[in-house]
Amino acid sequence: MNVVVIITIVCVLLMILASYFAIKTEDLVSAVIASSVVSLMASVLFLILHAPDVAMTEAAIGAGLSTVVFLIAIRKTERFEKDEEQ
């Protein structure tokens, strides 16, 4: 088995697990950090698919600016998602 194949499968699995955790959890800060893990794994996958420009852009924007913008918005609103039944 090639090393690249192992890294690809690990990245895809981590991406799916992190996105599932980001949707399911109630703490919004944990969800934002999980979505930045999704962006990081996507950046590595872009590099494996031979697209270095796009990998650089996704690493700079997805794992940097997007997370900060979400955290600023959470700071001004509520942190926990209250799922109340009616």
Partner 1 sequence: MKALIMNTHYIVFAGILMLMVIGLFGALTKRNLIKILIALGILDTGINLFFIAIGYVTGKTAPIFSKQGLSSGNMVDPVPQALVLTAIVIGVAVLALGLSIVIRVYEHYGTLNVSKIKKMRG
Partner 2 sequence: MKKPGLKKRLRVKNIFVFLIVLYFGFQMFSVISFLDLNNVKGVAKYYLENDIKDTQSANVVTSIVVNYRGFDTLGEVTVLFLAATGLGAILSGHRKVKKQKILANTMLQYGSKPLLAIVILFGAYIFIHGHLSPGGGFQGGTVIATGFLMMLLALEGYEIKHGYVKWTESLAGLTFVTVGLIGLVLLGSFLANFLPLGKVGDLFSAGVIPIIYVAVGFKVGSELTGLLDNMMGVIE
Binding flag, residue 16, partner 1 (CB under 8 A):
yes
Binding flag, residue 56, partner 2 (CB under 8 A):
yes
Cβ contact 38:19 at 8 Å: yes
- The binder of partner 2 chosen from 4, 53, 77, 86 (CB under 8 A): 53
Shortest reach from residue 6's CB to partner 2, in Å: 22
Binding segment for partner 2 (CB under 8 A), chosen from 3-11, 14-22, 36-44, 69-77, is: 69-77
Question: Rounded to an integer, what distance in angstroms lies between the CA atom of residue 21 and that of residue 19?
Answer: 5
Other beta carbons less than 10 A from residue 35's beta carbon: 20
Which positions ≥6 away from 55 have C-beta within 8 Å? 43, 44, 46, 47
Question: Rounded to an integer, what distance in angstroms lies between the CA atom of residue 3 and that of residue 72?
Answer: 39
Q: Which residues contact partner 1 by CB under 8 A?
A: 1-2, 5, 8-9, 12-13, 15-16, 19-20, 22-23, 28, 31-32, 35, 38-39, 42, 45-46, 49-54, 57-58, 61-62, 65-66, 69-70, 72-74, 76-78, 81-84, 86
